[in-house]
Structure 1
């Protein structure tokens, strides 16, 4: 009887731990590069899809998916909503992307590679798709790339124009940030499909890739994947002006378990701030088979961000928080 009692307790304890472990939040496919969007009391999560096999030694990312949640715990998979094949000029993988709403339209800024043609000699490029719904259907908004490799020359490798993040400031001005090896930014016209002015390159400490722009009160945050000792970690800088200068503030999150890369996405939802990222923690996961997670993000009184603790437990349901 004692043995059966102990065994039963162990089973219950193990099941409780499984039920409490929310991270990764998406488990049916491998996902990466989270880009959350809050729209009408729902969080829409735009994500890359890792399709690499266990034998592959590089990324295979065929398309972008959309998920949604109203409580930050239960996520609905809406399926593949966009791929590089949507863009006639593209010939690459579905790298990091972000969708943003403006005037009732949804603009999905993506990074992939460009064909060698009259518009570009190849290399990474940024495109933009548009839809009347956060779930699509999406179509190429302009029939060409918004940013091509030839527009930026400070980095000599061909994949420096990746990982777009878009932010619309309180005055209505939209900004596009992106980059690998260096961080670039440019204003966008109100139509969200044209650049408005010259591209500026920033000198940001330890910047590698994956920028994300966030604003809290009167402070702007530039959050990005930086140079860890063994793998990428998340670092950040702040500024009183989105155009800079930016002050380096330190490490926000350490290396993601079982993944060389880590990619940030930050939102406010129902009075809480959330930090999205990816790791390689699912069974058979790894650097090319990643999974999206979310944890809480907190601030100090001076506006600096507290270091995020990457957990298996994840976050509590909005419903739980309100009870």
Structure 2
């Protein structure tokens, strides 16, 4: 008899509290999540936290790593959707602040992070749509790219210093269905550009993707099913990130959903699910009811 999924009961969130837009990463033998602090009408959060885990299941709050009113001179609220990368033996943290994209730098993945510019890296109005939802991707050759934008997707190559770029060379395009939250991964020489469709307040919020042989495209959208979408009690599942277990073809997707029970687009919680590929390299639909088992990273 085929096993049926209990869609009335979902696994608990991995972070304790209201957090959205999680960026999951692995540095050394630890996993980290960098989320948006949620729970305010209009998404008016003012600070960012970092969470760490040895096994993807148990997460520790490392505290506030960037406080907009205290650490920035150019923005005090709307602290949204960060991303992080390691290069030059430093950690570079990109984030949305008052609908601009900023960058901060630290010597450790848990901060403290400092603003090296005193101004946005990508100011609002640079391109059409909102300058939000940065995602940093460092390719195998060390070249770093920033993906960002709501309304359309933008790609720009970062300079070697990781805190500057030539905004005149931004590539802008809009994949079918694209709304926000771009994310890039590379597997077996294929580049997967993923993004969120619909609005984060919409229960249909979901994840789609396209592939390319280049980090800057052109991209061909995968047809058929979304990678991730809500079902049953799980609603508004989207704005994701993906992590690969070092040394393995093993992948996990972090994302938010409406808080269970009673959540909405302003009250969201962070979850993790396994993400798999088929033999042809297609991303298979994620089961939002599958529990994550403990994962260890070898030193």
**Interval of TM-score (by shorter of Structure 1 and Structure 2):** 0.7 to 0.9
CA distance in 1, matches of 2:193, 2:230: 18
CA distance in 2, matches of 1:24, 1:260: 14
CA distance in 1, matches of 2:165, 2:76: 23
Is the aligned partner of 1:294 residue 2:284? no
Runs of 4+ aligned residues of structure 1 deviating over 6 Å after TM superposition are: none
| 1:179 CA displacement | 0.6
| 1:262 CA displacement | 1.9
Instruction: State the match for 2:29 in structure 1.
Output: 41
1:59 to 43, 48, 68: 43
| SS of the residue 1:150 aligns to | coil
Answer whether contact 1:179 1:209 (CA < 8 A) is retained: yes
Structure showing greater Rg: 1
| 1:243 CA displacement | 1.4
Instruction: State the match for 2:88 in structure 1.
Output: 103
Is the aligned partner of 1:91 residue 2:76? yes
Answer whether contact 1:173 1:187 (CA < 8 A) is retained: yes
Answer whether contact 2:230 2:288 (CA < 8 A) is retained: no
| 1:92 CA displacement | 2.6
More off after superposition, 276-285 vs 236-245:
276-285
- 1:301-312 equivalences in 2 (<5 Å): 301-311=279-289
Is the aligned partner of 1:198 residue 2:186? no
Answer whether contact 1:43 1:72 (CA < 8 A) is retained: yes
- 1:218-237 equivalences in 2 (<5 Å): 218-227=189-198, 231-237=204-210
CA distance in 1, matches of 2:266, 2:178: 21
| 1:22 CA displacement | 4.6
| SS of the residue 2:125 aligns to | helix
| SS of the residue 2:169 aligns to | coil
| 1:286 CA displacement | 2.7
- For these two proteins, the number of residue pairs brought into alignment is 282
Instruction: State the match for 1:186 in structure 2.
Output: 156
Is the aligned partner of 1:266 residue 2:257? no
CA distance in 2, matches of 1:112, 1:259: 26
Answer whether contact 1:31 1:47 (CA < 8 A) is retained: yes
| SS of the residue 1:60 aligns to | coil
More off after superposition, 251-260 vs 89-98:
251-260
Answer whether contact 1:235 1:253 (CA < 8 A) is retained: yes
Instruction: State the match for 2:3 in structure 1.
Output: none
| 1:149 CA displacement | 1.9
**What residue ranges of structure 1 are gaps of 5+ in the alignment?**
1-16, 114-123
Aligned CA-pair RMSD = 2.3
Instruction: State the match for 2:180 in structure 1.
Output: 209
| 1:281 CA displacement | 3.1
Using the size of structure 2 for normalisation, the TM-score is 0.88
Instruction: State the match for 1:23 in structure 2.
Output: 12
Cα deviation 1:277-321 (Å, max 9, x = unaligned): 01123455332111100000000111110011111x5210126x9
CA distance in 1, matches of 2:209, 2:54: 28
More off after superposition, 143-152 vs 224-233:
224-233
Is the aligned partner of 1:279 residue 2:257? yes
CA distance in 2, matches of 1:233, 1:174: 26
| 1:269 CA displacement | 1.3
Cα deviation 1:30-65 (Å, max 9, x = unaligned): 11111011100110111111132xxx4x32323211
Cα deviation 1:43-101 (Å, max 9, x = unaligned): 0111111132xxx4x32323211111111111111112113222211133111110111
Instruction: State the match for 1:70 in structure 2.
Output: 54
CA distance in 1, matches of 2:262, 2:15: 14
Q: 1:246 to 1:146 in 2, by over 3 A?
A: same
Instruction: State the match for 2:142 in structure 1.
Output: 172
